[in-house]
Amino acid sequence: MTRRMLTVRIEAELEKKLEELAREKIERKSDIIREALEEFIKKETEMKEIKRIMAKKFAEGKISFEELIKILGYQEARKTAFYIDIAKKSFEEGLQ
């Protein structure tokens, strides 16, 4: 796979921690960053899919808010419930 170069600015403190980790793991800094980025994107993609399924089940009334909290955590569950509420109002009232 062709690799492309990406420039990212990070704080000196973060770079210091990255250097320490690279020494400990005997890895290149760029490899650590690539692995971290891959892991982050994988987790975000999985989370979106989980949220999609859970939001659908919650909107259908198949799971309770408490169950939503258990799966997504309190903050994400509240955001999901908020979105469904605002979406319901949009279908019911339009812009009124």
Partner 1 sequence: MKAVMDTSSLISLELSGILQRSLKLLQIVIPSTVKEELEEISKYSDEEGKAAKLILKLIQNKKIPQLEIKDYKKVENLLSSDVDRGEAECFVLCLENKITILIMDDVDAAYSLEGLAKVNDIKLKISVAVIIELSKKKIITKKQALRAIRKMINIREWEGGALEVLAKKYLKEF
Tell me which residues in 61-80 interact with partner 1 (CB under 8 A).
78-80
CB of 40 to partner 1, least distance (A): 16
**Which tokens sit at 95?**
């812009």
Tell me which residues in 3-62 interact with partner 1 (CB under 8 A).
48-49, 51-53, 55-56, 58-60
Long-range contacts, 7-11 (Cβ 8 Å, 24+): 8/33
Separation CA 90–CA 96 (nearest Å): 9
CB of 47 to partner 1, least distance (A): 8
Asked if 72 and 54 count as a contact pair (C-beta separation under 8 A), the reply is: yes
Q: Could you identify the residue written with the tokens 């987790």?
A: 43
Cβ-proximal residues to 96 (8 Å cutoff; 6+ apart), any chain: none
CB of 67 to partner 1, least distance (A): 15
Of 6 and 26, which CB lies nearer to partner 1 in the complex structure? Answer: 6
Residues that bind partner 1 (CB under 8 A): 48-49, 51-53, 55-56, 58-60, 78-80, 82-84, 86-96
